[in-house]
Amino acid sequence: MKPIPPEAPRDCPLCPRLVAYREAVRAKEPSWFNGAVPSFGSDKAELLIVGLAPGVTGANRTGRPFTGDWAGDLLYATLEKFSFSEGSYAADPGDGLTLSGAMITNAVRCVPPENKPVGAEINACRPFLKARIAALPKLKVLLCLGKISHDSTLRALGLKLSDHPFGHGTNYQVTAGGRPVTLLSSYHCSRYNTNTGRLTAEMFEAVFAQARRVLG
């Protein structure tokens, strides 16, 4: 059997509901990316940030994770603050921004209706997440945004959810591909969480500060 690659093909056929949604959006917005959004960042990443899934008018439109999404404004500003990026984020894949020692991926690579992937879709996309993690030889920190990302990452690593409950700021020492890795988690930096005050910029930065401490 062929090994699973770390990136899904742009026209990934695995999830019928997501394919149908993608095609419906494409019919209305043919100039948008409308495909499985590839991970963005460095192959030498020590930090892998695992988001949920592309937003319809954000990453699904632009083709770069969190780019053009409300959530991306906070994420990219925080990456810059902690020196994980070079250049300026301008909500456009052509902005010349690069990530330093970091990569951003999503637990689900295709846009789900209402930002809500179902269990079967999260499971179908997990082999790509698993392969993404395995393809980063320098990986030291996994930073999961939200519970879906946290749980899918634990499953990708073959770890028990009940031994590693999700919480904002949780920190677990785990093994990924035979190497020790720190698994950090944060509330997702979605508009809903920031508008309701569930997640503040300070709380989000505190998690990145933990990542920086681990990486030095």
Q: Identify which range of 14-22, 64-72, 83-91, 177-185 contacts ligand URA by CB under 6 A.
A: 64-72
Beta bridge partners of 180: 175
- By CB under 6 A, is residue 6 in contact with ligand URA? no
Return the number of the residue (32 or 66) whose C-beta is nearest ligand URA. 66
Among 35, 41, 55, 117, interactor with ligand URA by CB under 6 A: 55
Contact 141/103 with Cβ under 8 angstroms?
A: no
- By CB under 6 A, is residue 51 in contact with ligand URA? yes
- By CB under 6 A, is residue 52 in contact with ligand URA? yes
Return the number of the residue (52 or 183) whose C-beta is nearest ligand URA. 52
Minimum CB–partner distance for residue 197 and ligand URA (Å): 19
Q: How far apart are CA 75 and CA 143, in angstroms?
A: 12
Contact 176/157 with Cβ under 8 angstroms?
A: yes
Return the number of the residue (109 or 160) whose C-beta is nearest ligand URA. 109
108: left (phi over 0), alpha (psi -120 to 50) or beta: beta
- By CB under 6 A, is residue 125 in contact with ligand URA? no
The dihedral over CA atoms of 60, 64, 68, 70, expressed in degrees to the nearest 10, equals 90
Q: What is 59-105 written as a DSSP string? A: HHHHSSTTTTSHHHHHHHHHHHHTT-EES---SSGGG--EESSEEEE
Instruction: Indicate the DSSP class of residue 136.
Output: -
- Residue 154: phi and psi, rounded to 5, are -60, -45
Render the burial of 108-146: b for 16+ CB within 10 Å, e for the rest.
Answer: bbbbbeebebeeebbebbbbbbbbbbbbbeebbbbbbbb
The 97-116 contact track toward ligand URA, x by CB under 6 A, reads ---------x----------
Minimum CB–partner distance for residue 55 and ligand URA (Å): 4
- By CB under 6 A, is residue 66 in contact with ligand URA? yes
- By CB under 6 A, is residue 65 in contact with ligand URA? yes
Return the number of the residue (71 or 181) whose C-beta is nearest ligand URA. 71
Q: Residue with CB nearest ligand URA? A: 51
Q: Identify which range of 25-33, 59-67, 126-134, 201-209 contacts ligand URA by CB under 6 A.
A: 59-67
Q: How far apart are CA 76 and CA 79, in angstroms?
A: 5
Residues of this chain that interact with ligand URA (CB under 6 A) are 51-55, 58-59, 65-66, 69, 71, 106, 145
